[in-house]
Structure 1
Amino acid sequence: MEDQEIEKVSKLSCKFHGDFLLDESPVTFEDSSSLQEAARTARPWRRAGRSGEGVAAKLVRQISVRLIQEAQRALEDFSELKMRYNDLLKSRTVQQFQKIIKHIKRFMIFCYEFELGFQRSLATKLPAIRGGGEDEAELAEILKKRASCPFNSTSLNQWLECTEREVSTLESIVQLMPNTQVLPSQNHMYKETGRVRNALLFVFTALDSSDQFLTDLQKHLEGSASGRNSQDPEMDKWYLSKDLHKAIIQKARLFSHFAKANQGKDDIRFFAVGLTDRFKRSTIYCFEDGLLVSDDYVPPSEPEALTGQSLSQQCAAAVLHASTGSAQHHRIQSGGL
């Protein structure tokens, strides 16, 4: 360097920042130049070190991504379930049967409660694992418990699929009775039957049957679940029995033909409702002036137009038969389907 350059360089000051502890901290350009060889020697070692650290970090991230993706899928499953049961609640058929609404809302509440607990667990464990305070096995255990409890994705989806199928089956049966008004509850039944001289109701009696799977969900949330496996959501469903389904359809068609034959009469109305009853799966109620006079009325096999008086006489015959054990009326039988 020329004299002028040397003079300028001599006025320079230096300050070092790095990962190495130096014997002396250089403050001039000349002092810092003496570290050049050491820096060159250390540089390949630092590069090798960083490469090794990257491999280890990459391996840890691969394990974390696998578990995090599984946790994310679980949360997405709950979101999809939420959309499905909200759509189901908007169905006209569901709105017509409060028993179905009750079951779906119980399912919604249980899923929401479990999802909140699951989210809290993830919110606690994930930061702890990332910070090194806990092992990833903690997250794996959370996911394993969820997969083995009643709130696993397979069982929840299966229950919802069963409910969707039940709603579809109800819809197809209701469509067989176009001249029939569907009442959503027992209160509506008493209100409507009190407004007309005579009323016949097609009663779906299977809608309030106990749902063991919902009970299993509730017990799990309460911490009182037994060690047994949760009941299959499809077990003992009326709409899965071909014989029962066929019998209900036959009765619905008979009811519909009778309603059509008496369409337009002011003193006779036809309804359908979902209730709990001693009869299996379906029956027909006969009301007179708001009072139940028969809980197992059977319309004639051949459609015929009747007056309110003749219908009342048939219902009265049913009451007489039930109380005295007298000869059975040809339109009344002793048991529902």
Structure 2
Amino acid sequence: MRCNDSLEDKVVESFPVLHEELSTFLKLCGYYKTNIQKAMAEKLPSIREGKEDESSLEKVFEDGPESPFNHEKLNKWLSHKEREINVINSCVDTMEGVKIVLTETELDREVLASGVEDVLCFVFTSMLKGDIYLDEMADFFKATKLGSTHEEEWYYSEEILNTMRKSQNVPEFG
């Protein structure tokens, strides 16, 4: 629910990195749910027939607390992602009429357009480093890593937030 709500956010739609991470999160949660359902579908008939003990079903959930899919970890990831979205929203909201471009080609088109005299470019470079938690979730299924670092999340860095605020206080072009 929270993830789907975030996917509908205007900023998430404007920043493909955010959209991809949220979509990956949903997809990995779906894989986990499917795996649990398959395991239960295999175990329950045998338990009902008395061929297996109920404890065999417990093994399906054995990794729960340690897995990247436990409630606390999922909630924490979503809270951090919502924080990131809120920080970006805050930044975008302070720059009225801002145009978000996704590629260098689009930037060139805007900068080189006739009648353009001044351009202020604000780049979110910290968003490109990947996500450790999504890597953990993918590792749970032996999937490929998404390329992350163990750095502090940029949207919690006071230094980066202060730099963003200073960058926003550029005098009006006249």
With structure 1 as the length reference, what TM-score do the two structures score? Answer: 0.46
Partner of 2:141: 221
1:100 equivalent to 2:18? Answer: yes
d(CA) in 2 for partners of 1:224 and 1:86?
A: 24
Alignment partners' CA distance in 2, 1:115 and 1:190: 44
- The equivalent residue for 1:293 is none
- Aligned partner of 2:88 among 132, 152, 170: 170
Cα distance, 1:190 vs structure 2 = 3.4
3-state DSSP of counterpart to 2:62? helix
Asked if residue 191 in structure 1 is aligned to residue 91 in structure 2, the reply is no
Shift of 1:217: 1.3
C-alpha separation between the residues in 2 aligned to 1:120 and 1:207? 36
1:248 and 2:125 are equivalent in the alignment: no
Return the structure number with greater relative CO, CA threshold 8 A, min gap 6: 2
The answer to whether structure 1 residue 200 and structure 2 residue 116 are counterparts is no
Across the two proteins, how many residue pairs are aligned to each other? Answer: 169
Q: Distance in 1 between the 2:103 and 2:51 partners?
A: 55
Is the CA contact (8 Å cut-off) linking 1:110 and 1:218 kept in structure 2?
A: yes
Q: By percentage of residues, which structure has more helix?
A: 2
Q: Contact 1:146–1:152 at 8 Å: present in 2 too?
A: yes
Q: Tell me, what secondary structure is at the counterpart of 1:110?
A: helix
Could you tell me which runs of 5 or more consecutive residues in structure 2 were left unpaired when the two chains were aligned. Answer: none
1:213 and 1:237 map into 2 onto residues whose CA distance is 11
| Deviation, structure 1 residue 235 | 6.3
Residue 156 of structure 1: how far off its partner (Å): 1.4
Deviations 1:302-337 (A, max 9, x none): xxx2xxxxxxxxxxxxxxxxxxxxxxxxxxxxxxxx
Distance in 2 between the 1:237 and 1:182 partners?
A: 22
TM-fit CA distance, 1:187 = 4.5
Q: Quick one: structure 1 residues 89 and 152, their matched pair in 2 at CA, closer, same or farther if it must change by over 3 Å?
A: same
Cα deviations by residue, 1:230-269 (Å, 9 ceiling, x for unpaired): xxxx961111122321221121222xxx3xx23xxxxxxx
Mapped partners of 1:141, 1:161: distance in 2: 30
Q: Which has the larger radius of gyration?
A: 1
Unaligned ranges ≥5, structure 1 = 1-82, 226-233, 263-304, 306-337
In the alignment, what sits opposite 1:150? 68
Q: In structure 2, what is the Cα distance between the partners aligned to 1:235 and 1:114?
A: 27
Question: Identity of aligned pairs, percent?
Answer: 27
Letter of the structure 2 residue corresponding to residue 201 of structure 1:
C
Task: Quote the Cα distance in structure 1 between the aligned partners of 2:21 and 2:143.
Answer: 21
Q: CA deviation at 1:178?
A: 0.8
